[in-house]
Amino acid sequence: MAKEKISSLQLFYLMTGYVLGTAIILGLGATAKQDAWLFILIGIVGGLVLMVVFCQLSSYYPGDTLVQMLPKIIGKYLTYPVAILYIIHFTYSAARACRELGDLIVTTILSETPMIVVIGSFMVLMIYCLLGGIETIGRMAEIVFPIYIFALILIWILLLSITEFNLKNLTPVLGNGLMPLMKSAIPIAINFPFGETIVIMMFFPFLNKNGRQRKIGMLSIIVGGLLLIVNSIMMISVLGPEIYSRDLFNLLAATQMVSIADFLERFDALVILMMVTGVFFKMGGFTLGAALGISQLFKLKQTRYVVIVLGIIIPPLSLISASSYVEHLEFGFKFYVPYIHTSLQIILPVLLLFIAFIQRKVVKK
Q: Is residue 322 scored above 60 in pLDDT?
A: yes
Residue 354 lies in a domain: no
- Contact (CB, 8 A) for 174 and 38: yes
Domain contains 77: yes
Between CA 33 and CA 232 the distance in angstroms is: 10
Q: What is the pLDDT of residue 1?
A: 47
Q: How far is CA 42 from CA 19, 79, 199, 229, 336, in A?
A: 15, 32, 21, 11, 20
pLDDT digit string (tens) for 140-194? 999 999 999 998 998 899 888 888 888 899 988 888 888 889 988 988 999 999 9
Count: domains in the chain: 1
Mean pLDDT for the stretch of residues 219-245: 92
Asked if 287 and 295 touch (Cβ cutoff 8 Å), the reply is no
pLDDT at 13 over 80: yes
Residue 365 falls within a domain, yes or no?
Answer: no
| Assigned domain for 361 exists | no
What is the reported pTM? 0.93
Could you tell me if residue 13 is inside a domain?
A: yes
- pLDDT tens for 73-126 read 999 889 999 999 999 999 999 999 999 888 888 887 888 889 999 999 999 999
Contact 295, 307 (CB under 8 A): no
Percent of the chain with pLDDT over 70: 97
2: in domain: no
CATH no. for residue 69?
1.10.4160.10
> Could you give the 3-state DSSP secondary structure of residue 207?
strand
Selection from 97, 81, 122, 124 nearest residue 307 by Cα: 124
User: How far, in Å, are 86, 115, 249, 327 from residue 320 at the CA level?
Assistant: 20, 12, 22, 11
Which residues form the domain of 300? 8-346
User: For residue 363, is it within any domain?
Assistant: no
Mean pLDDT, the chain, integer = 89
Q: Is 260 helix (H, G, I), strand (E, B) or coil?
A: strand
Question: 351 in a domain, yes or no?
Answer: no
Confidence band of 52 (pLDDT split at 50, 70, 90)? very high
